[in-house]
Amino acid sequence: MELINELPKNVVDLILKTQNSGFSTVSKAGLPIDTPMLIFPSEGMKTFDVCTGVSYPTKAERARANPKVGLLFEGGADEPVVAIGGMARVSDSDIQSNLLRYLAETAYARPFNPPWEIAKKAVFYWARVLIAITPTKILWWDKPADMDKAPHVWNAPADTVYPPSDPRPGGSPSKAYNAAENISWQELAARALRLQMPAHVTRCDADGFPLSIRAGSVAQTKEGFTFDLPAAAPWDRRGEATLTFMGRETFVGQLEPTSGNGMKMTVERALGVHPFMNDPNEMWNPSKGIYDAMYGRLAHELARRGQPVPKVPDEEPPLTDYAKIRKAAVPVDAGEKIPVE
pLDDT tens for residues 35-80? 999 999 999 999 999 999 999 899 999 999 999 999 999 999 999 9
- The per-residue pLDDT for 107 is 77
pTM value? 0.93
- The per-residue pLDDT for 79 is 97
- Residue type present at position 63: A
Nearest to 274 by CA among 290, 297, 252: 290
Residue 254 in contact with residue 239, Cβ under 8 Å?
Answer: yes
CATH number, position 248: 2.30.110.10
- The per-residue pLDDT for 335 is 45
- The per-residue pLDDT for 113 is 72
Q: In Å, how far are 95, 127, 165 from 92, measured between CA atoms?
A: 6, 10, 9
Residue pLDDT, tens place only, 158-203? 999 999 999 999 998 887 655 555 789 999 999 999 999 999 999 9
Q: Are 166 and 207 contained in the same domain?
A: no
Domain that includes residue 194, residue range: 180-273
- The per-residue pLDDT for 339 is 47
**Low-confidence residues of the chain: pLDDT under 50:** 334-340
Q: How many domains does the chain have?
A: 2
Q: Are strands 199-204 and 20-26 parallel, antiparallel or unpaired?
A: unpaired
Q: Is residue 212 part of a domain?
A: yes
- The per-residue pLDDT for 277 is 61
Q: Is residue 219 part of a domain?
A: yes
- The per-residue pLDDT for 141 is 98
Q: Are strands 249-257 and 239-245 parallel, antiparallel or unpaired?
A: antiparallel
